[in-house]
């Protein structure tokens, strides 16, 4: 069902409402980062549990996005937004009552399920509201800027809340925002929908199984050992699940992921590029917020303020890149963004404990500029490659890949840091003749190490903290080198494979005919 075009003022009001909803999703994906040391202390969480608290949200988000996109297209995007906001608010409320890391992980997953309804309905609503390619490009630039700003504002808002209140406040803040959001969505966002086949639940199960096994193996690898039987079995299950998912989707009548989307390089390379950008962004953010707090000694709010330049760079370059595409094409802009991103994490790979905030500031600004430059052209390329009737499922596929990139970024960067931290911390018990119970506590995280050291007396504090700082930085540097390599490969592939043309929505009748020919 297609509603008549909205007048210009209503179109931009609708976009403003949708972007406000998007801020909540993006903000919550990162707001926990700045609270990681506090949560580690209050709930006695280990490093791998901290990764799960962050990834529990994005993993559920990515697993359910495709199905939720189908449901929003089928039953109405406005209804999808409202249901998602209710679910998100419920998870936020229950998270405030968590008394253990495992409970918090569960409620973060519920919040991720709510976000999975909100994001695809938001992006597909924009593509439905704006029929003119130039207006749609501007709206998508605003959408991309909002997504990036929300991701970086998370630590700022979280830091201020932690300064004033307890750690539960970072979840309580979502409740009134959700209530206002529901009140605004009803009058301003049309309930557009496209009736299609039912979602592929078997594909959902297979993809969830493979993705969860992969993330679990990456996070738990440093703890259980990369060659241990559980990790090897999980990696085998992940590989089997991913292969089985592709085979199933190629054969099923109504696939969860229409594989013919990926035959179009405008779609596949743009989706891959933005996913890798988020892989680097979220992984580096997970570690840099800990570095700013645990190594440089900043409080949560001070840490958030120090990320403002990164947020500003994302906003500015997201809008600039939309204009740059018209003059240079998508290929060069996206490749430039990925190269800037890679150069920034290469710079962070040389971090030491003697650095100050001024030393890492160029890398933070560079990361913001690189991510902002990459996002908007990729989103425009993805949406422009899709027919109007398939923007819901197409944007869900793209959003799923973004969330998978974010989830794997935290998992991979966190695990590389954890491996480096553990290897360097193993000498501390022997050097200081500590009992095994204390050494096990210290291996949980750098925050736990500092807490134990502070109880051992002045003779231990400075030496143990210095060793722990070097251990953390060693692992962080290793993670940044990997991020640099991934971004460089992505930039090369974008130059080679991503088409340059500025996109526009494919007419339904043309696309339907081409889809039929492909099938």
CA geometry: angle at 331 spanning 329 and 332, to 5°? 80
The 8-class DSSP code of residue 355 comes to: -
Last residue of a domain, one of 224, 255, 286: 255
CATH number at residue 116: 1.20.1250.20
CA gap 279, 407 in Å, rounded: 7
10 Å Cβ neighbour count for 317?
Answer: 27
State whether 102 and 160 are in the same domain. yes
Contact 220, 230 (CB under 8 A): yes
Per-residue 3-state assignment (H helix, E strand, C coil) for 49-117: HHHHHHHHHHHHHHHHHHHHHHHHHHHCHHHHHHHHHHHHHHHHHHHCCCCCHHHHHHHHHHHHHHHHH
State whether 192 and 300 are in the same domain. yes
What pLDDT, on a 0 to 100 scale, did the predictor assign at position 404? Answer: 85
State whether 244 and 167 are in the same domain. no
Q: Does any domain span residue 451?
A: no
State whether 232 and 147 are in the same domain. no
What would the pLDDT profile of 366-393 be if each residue is shown by its tens digit? Answer: 999 999 899 888 878 887 777 766 665 6
Q: Which residues of the chain have pLDDT under 70?
A: 1-10, 21, 29, 72-75, 120-125, 127-128, 131-133, 136-137, 144, 148, 151-152, 188-199, 388-393, 395-396, 426-445, 457, 459, 501-519
Per-residue 3-state assignment (H helix, E strand, C coil) for 168-192: CHHHHCHHHHHHHHHHHHHHHCCCC
CA gap 151, 307 in Å, rounded: 11
State whether 323 and 179 are in the same domain. yes
What would the pLDDT profile of 454-512 be if each residue is shown by its tens digit? Answer: 777 676 777 777 888 888 898 899 999 999 999 999 999 999 998 876 544 444 433 34
CA gap 108, 56 in Å, rounded: 6
Q: Does any domain span residue 443?
A: no
What pLDDT, on a 0 to 100 scale, did the predictor assign at position 384? Answer: 75
Cα→Cα distances 476→218, 353, 363, Å: 16, 11, 14
**Structural domain for 135, as ranges:** 8-199+256-427+466-518
| Ramachandran angles phi, psi of 387, nearest 5° | -70, 155
Contact 253, 21 (CB under 8 A): no
* CA dihedral for 336, 340, 346, 349, sign (positive or negative): negative
Number of domains present in the structure of the chain: 2
State whether 242 and 288 are in the same domain. no
Contact 490, 273 (CB under 8 A): yes
State whether 127 and 266 are in the same domain. yes
């Amino acid at each position: 069902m297609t509603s008549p075009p909205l007048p210009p003022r209503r179109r931009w009001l609708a976009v403003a409402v949708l972007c406000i909803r998007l801020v909540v999703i993006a903000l919550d994906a990162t707001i926990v980062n700045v609270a990681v040391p506090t949560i580690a202390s209050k709930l006695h969480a280990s490093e791998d549990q901290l990764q799960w608290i962050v990834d529990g949200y994005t993993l559920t988000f990515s697993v359910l996005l495709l199905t939720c996109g189908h449901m929003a297209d089928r039953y109405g995007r406005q209804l999808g937004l409202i249901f998602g906001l209710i679910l998100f608010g419920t998870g936020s409320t229950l998270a405030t009552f968590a008394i253990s890391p495992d409970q918090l992980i569960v409620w973060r997953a519920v919040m991720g399920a709510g976000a999975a309804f909100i994001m695809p309905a938001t992006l597909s609503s924009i593509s439905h509201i704006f029929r003119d390619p130039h207006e749609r490009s501007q709206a998508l630039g605003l959408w991309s800027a909002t997504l990036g700003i929300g991701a970086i504002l998370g630590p700022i808002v979280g830091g201020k809340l932690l300064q004033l209140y307890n750690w539960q406040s970072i979840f309580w803040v979502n409740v009134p925002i959700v209530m206002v959001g529901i009140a605004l969505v009803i009058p301003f966002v049309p309930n557009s929908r496209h009736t299609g086949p039912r979602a592929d639940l078997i594909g959902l199960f297979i993809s969830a199984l493979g993705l969860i096994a992969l993330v679990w193996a990456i996070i738990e690898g440093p703890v259980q050992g990369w060659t241990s039987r559980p990790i090897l079995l999980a990696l085998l299950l992940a590989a089997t699940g991913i292969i089985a998912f592709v085979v199933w989707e190629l054969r099923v009548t109504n696939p969860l992921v229409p594989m013919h989307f990926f035959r179009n390089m405008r779609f596949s390379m743009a989706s891959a590029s933005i996913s890798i950008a988020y892989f680097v962004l979220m992984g580096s953010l997970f570690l840099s917020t800990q570095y700013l707090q645990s190594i440089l000694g900043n409080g949560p709010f001070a840490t958030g303020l120090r990320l403002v330049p990164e947020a500003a760079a994302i906003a500015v370059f997201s809008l600039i890149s939309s204009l740059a595409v018209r003059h240079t094409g998508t290929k060069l802009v996206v490749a430039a963004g990925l190269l800037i991103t890679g150069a920034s994490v290469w710079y962070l790979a040389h971090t030491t404990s003697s650095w100050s905030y001024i030393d890492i500031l160029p890398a933070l600004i560079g990361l913001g500029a690189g991510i902002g430059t990459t996002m908007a052209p990729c989103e425009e390329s993805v949406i422009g490659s899709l027919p109007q009737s398939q923007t819901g499922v197409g944007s869900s596929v793209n959003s799923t890949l973004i969330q998978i990139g974010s989830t794997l970024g935290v998992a991979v960067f966190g695990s590389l840091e954890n491996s480096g931290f553990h290897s360097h911390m193993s000498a501390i018990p022997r050097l200081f003749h500590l009992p095994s119970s204390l050494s096990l506590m210290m291996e949980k995280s750098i925050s736990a190490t500092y807490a134990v050291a502070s109880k051992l007396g002045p003779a231990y504090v400075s030496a143990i903290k210095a060793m722990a700082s070097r251990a953390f930085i060693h692992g962080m540097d290793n993670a940044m080198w990997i991020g640099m390599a991934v971004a460089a490969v992505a930039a090369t592939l974008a130059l080679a494979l991503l088409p340059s043309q500025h996109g526009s929505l494919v007419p339904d009748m043309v696309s339907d005919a081409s889809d039929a020919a492909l099938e």
